[in-house]
Amino acid sequence: MVTITLNGRPVEAPAGTMLADAAAQAGVDVPTLCYLKGLNCIGSCRVCLVEVEGAGLVASCNTAVQDDMVVRTDTPAVAAARRANLQAVMDGHRAVCAACVRQDTCALRRLAADCNLADPPGPLPEKGAWDEAFPLQRDASKCITCMRCVAVCREVQHCNVWDFTGAGPSMKVVVRDSLPISEAGCTLCGQCVTHCPTGALTARDDTGCVLEAILDPAVMTVVQVAPAVRAAWGEGVGLSHEAATPGRLAASLHALGFDKVFDTDFAADLTIMEEGSEFVEFLGSDRPRPLFTSCCPGWVRFVKLHCPQFAARLSSSKSPHQMMGAVVKNTLADEAAAAGKRLFCVSVMPCVAKKYECDVPELATAPAGGGDVGDVAKAVPDVDAVLTVREFDRLLRTVGVNCADLPEASFDNPLGASTGAGTIFGRTGGVMEAALRSAAFLVTGENPDFSACDTTAATPEVPWMSRELAIGDVVVRIAVASGLENTAKLLAALESGEASFDFVEIMACPGGCVAGGGQPIHFNSEWGARRADVLNRLDAADALRCSHENPDVQKLYADWLDKPLSHTAHAWLHTDQEG
Ligand code: HC0
Ligand code: SF4
């Protein structure tokens, strides 16, 4: 331990701790725009300056504590230097705050207001050309070259989409090799968006077409909400995690005017029936190990763009929200037609990549009676629009839904029932844990000991979590990873033979969808772990905790699909069309 004197008080911190962190641990807030602990410690914004006796003003994000250091964060010199440096950042930023989706969560806006800065003089910087159809959007005129996106994309997500050119005031963040963004290997995980301190990086806004559909009397709008949404949606409308219950979420969606409100958790249970059955079949085959989950489109894009040698090992099961869309478009087609309406499916997701996934042609399904299975010409998209949680919260504010005062409501049936297994899909390890709960039942006819399936040891802090467990007579080797740098390490170990598994769950975002690129943004703090706690609590409190116990899933098989991996199940729910 090292002891420093901070604002006249002794403060202890482990050797190597940066002054910014030592101050934060002692309850002293030092502002910063560019700092990301352990990832981006470049001192470039110079907003975190502190005064060190004998050394003058230093950046606290890249100066480590030393014994007997005397540090002050509250001197007039510190305040004046911070203010001047902030003004320099502001001068290069197009501060159109009134029309910026990040106005409530922009670190620069908050600090500029705290320091009573002036509007930047002179002409505003240029927005720059960008592909407006791409799910990830960039406005170069709001970029403050903090390099957070560069660091996160390179160090945490192994993708290297962002780079920089020039130096000093002429430095610019660019797409690497000046490639169009659609060709730069972007997985659309959205981690650059949630780590951007301003509105330079955002997700494409699709609220307009969703509002249009809601207001069109010729359209039957069907909405579904992803597992991780229930843990985070309240954050953007001022509700605590306790107040933002699934019942209030369903009520808020009804209040927005959607005709049917369904739960992706239902489809997560359906996915387990399909993927679990696929895995049981796979175990008896000699196909190369492992089988990889395929429900995270960020991971699917990563494998296809960066490690295509593993792409053939992806499960053929579609992701839950695509399955839900296919089920809705097929089973509600007659009801919509009888009402003279066309179906429009909306997914509310914690994810940017789902905006891409819903447009993938191979995932579209030919509706019942609309042609042969696999008839691509007649195929319609399973899902018509994806909103991030941030867009959903924005819609609630735009329409003026007073979520806090709404009485709890239910999801609609028959596609609204869910189990705890579906709920935990939203955190790393959840898909695997749900699959293990049901795979054991599919093989032995009995539910397993839940603790044997527990995956809560999975965390982005370790590259992957693995274990072996017996399912019937077979010992199954599973692994779970989240974050694409961790994933790259796991794939390298599989390739070298250092590791070998039967079933692997990958989620692109560190910690899974709870920390997804479409979730509400809280500057300089990570909320993934507390949202995972919400999901674990909901699972533990659920009367049904196994996907195969979901009564509506059982009814769907009885009425429409027959059994997992049937011909119709393949047509609707898988990316291959056999069966
Ligand atoms: Fe996820 Fe999903 S769990 S990917 O993270 O599988 O987005 O929450 O909706 O589809 O269910 C995201 C979250 C989902 C899907 C589910 C899976
Ligand atoms: Fe989307 Fe979840 Fe995958 Fe992140 S982990 S890319 S939020 S599906």
Task: Tell me: do 420 and 464 sit in the same domain.
Answer: yes
- Identify which ligand lies nearest to the alpha carbon of 229: 1
Task: Tell me: do 24 and 78 sit in the same domain.
Answer: yes
Among 179, 203, 227, which residue terminates a domain?
A: 203
Question: Which residue's structure tokens are 């995956």?
Answer: 455
Task: Tell me: do 183 and 238 sit in the same domain.
Answer: no
* 44 vs 370, higher pLDDT: 44
Conformational region of residue 122, where left means phi above 0, alpha means psi within -120 to 50, and beta covers everything else = left
Residue 362 annotated as catalytic: yes
Residue nearest to atom 1 of ligand 2 (CA): 351
CATH of the domain at 501: 3.40.50.1780
From CA 140, how far away is CA 187, in angstroms rounded? Answer: 20
Structure tokens, 151: 């660091």
The rounded Å distance from CA 194 to ligand 2 centre is 13
Domain-located, residue 98: no
Proportion of the chain above pLDDT 90, given as a percent: 86
The rounded Å distance from CA 433 to ligand 2 centre is 17
The rounded Å distance from CA 295 to ligand 2 centre is 9
Give the position, in ligand 1's atom list, of the atom nearest the Cα of 228. Answer: 8
The rounded Å distance from CA 226 to ligand 1 centre is 6
From CA 147, how far away is CA 197, in angstroms rounded? Answer: 10
Residue 371: predicted pLDDT:
45
Say if residues 191 and 152 touch (Cβ distance below 8 Å).
yes
State yes or no: pLDDT of 372 exceeds 60: no
State yes or no: pLDDT of 132 exceeds 80: yes
Domain-located, residue 53: yes
Mean pLDDT computed over 8-35: 96
Give the position, in ligand 1's atom list, of the atom nearest the Cα of 507. Answer: 5
From CA 72, how far away is CA 330, in angstroms rounded? Answer: 66
- Identify which ligand lies nearest to the alpha carbon of 508: 2
Q: Mean pLDDT lowest for which of 367-376, 401-410, 501-510, 563-572? A: 367-376
First-to-final CA distance of the chain: 63
The answer for residues whose C-beta is within 8 angstroms of residue 467's C-beta and 6 or more apart is: 477, 478
Residue 489: predicted pLDDT:
98
Residue nearest to atom 8 of ligand 2 (CA): 296
Ligand 2 is surrounded, with C-beta below 6 A, by 189, 296-298, 350-351, 353, 507-509, 512-513, 516-517
Mean pLDDT computed over 384-392: 98
Mean pLDDT computed over 310-321: 97
Give the position, in ligand 1's atom list, of the atom nearest the Cα of 425. Answer: 3
Which of 34, 45, 159, 295 does the annotation list as catalytic? Answer: 295
Proportion of the chain above pLDDT 70, given as a percent: 97
Domain-located, residue 105: no
Say if residues 543 and 419 touch (Cβ distance below 8 Å).
no
- Identify which ligand lies nearest to the alpha carbon of 272: 1
Q: Which of 464, 443, 473, 438 is nearest to 453 (CA)?
A: 438
Among 64, 89, 114, which residue terminates a domain?
A: 89
Residue nearest to atom 4 of ligand 1 (CA): 296
From CA 244, how far away is CA 234, in angstroms rounded? Answer: 5
Domain-located, residue 269: yes
| Average pLDDT of every residue of the chain | 94
State yes or no: pLDDT of 126 exceeds 90: no
Give the position, in ligand 1's atom list, of the atom nearest the Cα of 293. Answer: 6
Rg (alpha carbons) of the chain, rounded to whole number: 25
Task: Tell me: do 46 and 134 sit in the same domain.
Answer: no
The answer for residues whose C-beta is within 8 angstroms of residue 532's C-beta and 6 or more apart is: 231, 426, 427, 428, 511, 512, 514
* 225 vs 360, higher pLDDT: 225
One DSSP character per residue, 134-174 reads SSEEE-GGG-----HHHHIIIIITS---EEEES-GGG-EEE
The rounded Å distance from CA 515 to ligand 2 centre is 8
From CA 207, how far away is CA 390, in angstroms rounded? Answer: 10
Handedness of CA 119, 120, 126, 127 (dihedral sign): negative
Mean pLDDT computed over 366-380: 55
State yes or no: pLDDT of 524 exceeds 80: no
Residue 296: predicted pLDDT:
98
Residue 526: predicted pLDDT:
82
Mean pLDDT computed over 511-530: 93
The rounded Å distance from CA 507 to ligand 2 centre is 6
Residue 149 annotated as catalytic: no
- Angle, CA of 122, 124 and 128, to the nearest 5°: 150
Domain-located, residue 113: no
Residue 366: predicted pLDDT:
64
The type of residue at 370 is G
- Angle, CA of 78, 38 and 512, to the nearest 5°: 125
Task: Tell me: do 248 and 361 sit in the same domain.
Answer: yes
Beta strands in 299-339 (DSSP E): none
State yes or no: pLDDT of 197 exceeds 60: yes
Domain-located, residue 170: yes
From CA 109, how far away is CA 380, in angstroms rounded? Answer: 43
Domain range enclosing 53 = 2-89
Mean pLDDT computed over 206-229: 97
The rounded Å distance from CA 508 to ligand 1 centre is 11
CATH of the domain at 154: 3.30.70.20
Task: Tell me: do 181 and 252 sit in the same domain.
Answer: no
CATH of the domain at 56: 3.10.20.740
CB neighbourhood size of 130 (10 A)? 15
Residue 222: predicted pLDDT:
98
Residue 124: predicted pLDDT:
80
pLDDT tens-digit map of 49-91? 999 999 999 999 999 999 999 999 999 999 999 999 999 999 8
Task: Tell me: do 158 and 268 sit in the same domain.
Answer: no
Question: Which residue's structure tokens are 């527990």?
Answer: 454
State yes or no: pLDDT of 356 exceeds 80: yes
Structure tokens, 62: 């890249």
State yes or no: pLDDT of 514 exceeds 80: yes
CA dihedral 266, 272, 277, 278 (to 10 degrees): 120
Task: Tell me: do 47 and 70 sit in the same domain.
Answer: yes
Residue 209 annotated as catalytic: no
Q: How confident is the model at residue 378 (pLDDT cuts 50, 70, 90)?
A: low
From CA 264, how far away is CA 186, in angstroms rounded? Answer: 26
Say if residues 149 and 195 touch (Cβ distance below 8 Å).
yes
Mean pLDDT computed over 543-571: 96
Mean pLDDT computed over 494-522: 97
Mean pLDDT computed over 441-467: 91
Which of 142, 260, 318, 354 does the annotation list as catalytic? Answer: 354
The type of residue at 207 is T
Residue 259: predicted pLDDT:
98
State yes or no: pLDDT of 30 exceeds 90: yes
Task: Tell me: do 330 and 248 sit in the same domain.
Answer: yes
The type of residue at 26 is A
The answer for residues whose C-beta is within 8 angstroms of residue 423's C-beta and 6 or more apart is: 227, 230, 265, 268, 430, 535, 538, 539, 542
pLDDT tens-digit map of 251-296? 999 999 999 999 999 999 999 999 999 998 999 999 999 999 999 9
Residue 541: predicted pLDDT:
96
CA dihedral 105, 111, 112, 115 (to 10 degrees): 150
Residue 315 annotated as catalytic: yes
Task: Tell me: do 197 and 214 sit in the same domain.
Answer: no
Give the position, in ligand 1's atom list, of the atom nearest the Cα of 320. Answer: 10
Domain-located, residue 97: no
Q: Mean pLDDT lowest for which of 85-99, 155-169, 198-212, 363-377? A: 363-377
From CA 112, how far away is CA 119, in angstroms rounded? Answer: 9
Q: How many domains does the chain have?
A: 3
User: Which residue among 351, 354, 486, 514 is best mutated to probe the pocket of ligand 2, counting the most ligand atoms within 8 A of its Cβ?
Assistant: 351
Task: Tell me: do 176 and 221 sit in the same domain.
Answer: no
Among 30, 64, 89, which residue terminates a domain?
A: 89
Q: How confident is the model at residue 349 (pLDDT cuts 50, 70, 90)?
A: very high
Task: Tell me: do 539 and 470 sit in the same domain.
Answer: yes
Which of 183, 212, 362, 408 does the annotation list as catalytic? Answer: 362
Domain-located, residue 234: yes
